[in-house]
Structure 1
């Protein structure tokens, strides 16, 4: 059975409230279909996946560990820091304190769609990352002839 993709795209700037909650844009909430999702550490930011997307990443990471291409500690960090999330009636999800600290989130956040996941970035980190990402896209498009 082929997996149906939820496609997350776009960039949104939001503030965290005093309880560490951030509003998910309506388009992102629609892709979660009112279901639970999972949030965990990812790169220099936080990743939010649908349940199916989270299982897919966990399976791929498990395979890389079995093949000796990733350390077991990677799975420990990914799974032990993961939390189940679901949007409340106002579209907010709560980001646990430990994950806010990892991502350097204080008051403001940038939420970006990364096709199969939502990424939540510290605004300064995102500014640095987005410049590098723009350059990487140009190189990839040119090299792949897209």
Structure 2
């Protein structure tokens, strides 16, 4: 499980130092994809495999499913962290998320998200008020 917020920097070659707490779970490999709200999503190979299996069940005749699969897989990148815990982030993904050197890395349960710091701060501030309101929607009666 991934949680917490971290502020690593990309090196000059576009590589990200994964937070130490995430490295063991991702040591065998990972997939970096486009995420929602212009962030990047990092999946363990196992979780990305489960996601892929669910997407295979969607009918190819469903336009929404086709569109989602295209966007998710077109820029996806499979990586294996090096001995220092670094992974390369493809230029197309860096451009999509508007990340350059500074990044925010957040744990989001079964995935990691990589954000431009300004975009994360804006999103987080916007969601803060909604956070309390949606708890009843997400966990009715909890």
Q: Secondary structure of the equivalent of 2:42?
A: strand
Alignment check: 8 A CA contact 1:61 1:70 kept: no
Distance in 1 of aligned mates of 2:127 and 2:50: 24
In structure 1, C-alpha distance between the alignment counterparts of 2:84 and 2:121, rounded to whole Å: 28
Aligned Cα RMSD in Å?
Answer: 1.8
1:128 aligns with 2:107: no
Q: TM-score, normalised by structure 1?
A: 0.86
What's the offset of the Cα at 1:64?
A: 4.4
SS in 2 for 1:70: helix
**Is contact 2:2-2:112 (8 Å) kept?**
yes
Counterpart check, 1:39 vs 2:35: no
Distance 2:111 2:12 in 1: 25
Q: Does the aligned pair in 1 maintain the 2:55–2:65 contact within 8 Å?
A: no
Deviation of residue 49 (structure 1)?
Answer: 0.4
TM-score, normalised to structure 2's length?
Answer: 0.88
Which consecutive unaligned segments of at least 5 residues does structure 2 have? none
Q: 1: distance between equivalents of 2:25 and 2:14?
A: 22
How many residues are treated as equivalent by the alignment? 139
Gaps of 5+ in 1: 1-6
